Amino acid sequence: MARAIEVSNVSKLYRLGELYKHMMLREYLMSLLRRRPLQVDDTIWALRDVSFGIEAGEVVGLIGRNGAGKSTMLKVISRITDPTAGSYRVTGKVASLLEVGTGFHQELTGRENIYLNGSILGMHKREIDGKLDAIVAFADVARFLDTPLKRYSSGMKLRLGFAVAAHLDPDVLLVDEVLAVGDAGFQKKCLSAMRELQSGGRTVIFVSHNMAAVENLCSRAIWIDQGRLVRDGEAREVIRAYFATFGEATRDGIGLDAVAGRQGNGLVRFTRIEYLSADHEHGPLAQSGQHLTMRLHYRAAQRIPDPHFGVKISTEMGTTVTEVSTWSTGFAVPCVEPGSGAIDLVIESLNLMPGRYYVSLWAEGMGPIHYDVLDRCAILDVEPSNYYGSGRGVESRYGIVLLPCSFRLPGGKGPGAA
């Protein structure tokens, strides 16, 4: 059987820096006159010598941390950008879905945007004519079909965009993290649409941070880190290997020394993260609605004045739940001394529904100078608790946020009172 996608030794070099991105024609012409070429400040290999083949009908998950090169890989396969070296071949009609609603125009009506977006994604006009009713029904926008898009809510726009995408009929579909946007109901709809694609025998490459979805949808996973292919194989196995590079839980917290894909100059490095309950006991302590202290241990190579520490918590789907830093809370750390140290993030009440979350950390200085930036370096498993005192209603299917709240009847009378 012919391979649908064949990627051989693909590398992609990006040039960084102000000079390259903002090169002036004037300066360029001057440099030609002086016969001295402009210097390119900095380069980075977004992909390095990556090879894989995908059979027709395979559904493959592409996983890795932020900035690992997943999106660059999709951009290369979908011909948006050329690889610096290497070659690739794709057989059949390709549709790439790097974003929902590409090319939507605010001034045009819903109907006009369906045609525009459809043709941008590679549908023919006759094809769209035939599928228009189905698309409109899927998006649930029949009443607003001739209303300009600028009057749509963001949810409606999203539904419209996804409806068009769901009716594409390509041989090869490339999907990038489209599922990270939208509410839980919408994400569910997207996942079931993906499942249909899968059963329809299409070849799909699916980039996601949602390991549950990847494991569920994909038979195979490819893990990329810092531009290199780390592992390619059965989805469950690759995901397990990927999770193993997260900080490893030990008796005294999660060790961060071995975390891969960290950025920054390393003058300050996170070594360990500890989750502590109110009484500072160790254990599986992150509980819904309970106190949690995150103790961030670090090691500094020298005296660093005025550092900032930050923590981000995101869901498995990649949605940021919260991002907080010493800067945003106005907490000034005068300096860190050489050697080991720690800073606590004290969370009075961890108002998260039970489930798996990711923690990202960073230490920065003014400038900004990045000392240590770790994307999704530790897992935070939030355990259920009896938050409302009823023994019910605190489960991951109830969403992300746990509200400190209670019901009452107006007038202050209890139920059943006359």
Partner 1 sequence: MKRSEWIGEFWRYRELFLFLVWRELKVRYKQTALGASWALLQPLLTMAVFTVIFGRYAELPRDGLAYPLFFFSVLVPWTYFASALTNAGNSLVANIDLLTKVYFPRAALPASAVLAGLLDFAVAFLFLAGMLLYYAVPPSLEMLLWPLLLLLLVLLALGAGMLFAALNVNFRDVKYALPFVVQVWMFASPTMWTLNSVEEPRWRVLAALNPLGGVLQAFRDSINPNCPVDWLSLGISAAATLLLFLAGGAYFQKTERTFADLI
Other C-beta atoms closer than 10 Å to the C-beta of 343 total 17
Its sign, for the CA torsion 229, 232, 238, 244, is: negative
How far, in Å, CA of 196 to CA of 92, rounded?
A: 19
352 near 401, Cβ under 8 Å? yes
- Closest of 330, 316, 315, 323 to residue 362, by C-alpha: 323
Shortest separation between residue 125's beta carbon and partner 1, angstroms = 6
- DSSP-derived pairing of the beta strands 172-176 and 203-207: parallel
Shortest separation between residue 291's beta carbon and partner 1, angstroms = 44
Q: Which is nearer to partner 1, 22 or 408 (CB)?
A: 22
User: Helix, strand or coil for residue 295?
Assistant: strand
Q: Which is nearer to partner 1, 77 or 194 (CB)?
A: 77
Burial, 328: exposed, middle or buried (Cβ in 10 Å; 0-12, 13-18, 19+)? exposed
Q: How far is Cα of residue 229 from the mean position of the Cα atoms in its chain?
A: 19
Q: Which is nearer to partner 1, 99 or 215 (CB)?
A: 99
Q: Which is nearer to partner 1, 23 or 346 (CB)?
A: 23
Shortest separation between residue 315's beta carbon and partner 1, angstroms = 24
Shortest separation between residue 173's beta carbon and partner 1, angstroms = 13
DSSP state of 329: H
DSSP state of 199: H
- Closest of 351, 372, 345 to residue 361, by C-alpha: 372
Strand order across the beta sheet in which 253-255 lies: 248-250, 253-255, 268-276, 292-300, 339-347
Q: Which is nearer to partner 1, 116 or 311 (CB)?
A: 116
Shortest separation between residue 8's beta carbon and partner 1, angstroms = 18
- Closest of 41, 42, 45 to residue 86, by C-alpha: 45
Q: Which is nearer to partner 1, 122 or 365 (CB)?
A: 122
Residues that bind partner 1 (CB under 8 A): 14, 20-26, 28, 75, 78-82, 94, 96, 98-99, 102-103, 105, 107-108, 112, 115-116, 119-122, 124-125
Task: Tell me the residue length of the chain.
Answer: 418
The two tokens of residue 345 are 């993030």
Q: Which is nearer to partner 1, 63 or 116 (CB)?
A: 116
Other C-beta atoms closer than 10 Å to the C-beta of 409 total 10
Its sign, for the CA torsion 350, 351, 354, 356, is: negative
6 near 53, Cβ under 8 Å? yes
Q: Which is nearer to partner 1, 79 or 240 (CB)?
A: 79
For residues 75, 79, 82, 83, the Cα torsion angle rounded to the nearest 10 degrees is 60
Q: Which is nearer to partner 1, 120 or 401 (CB)?
A: 120
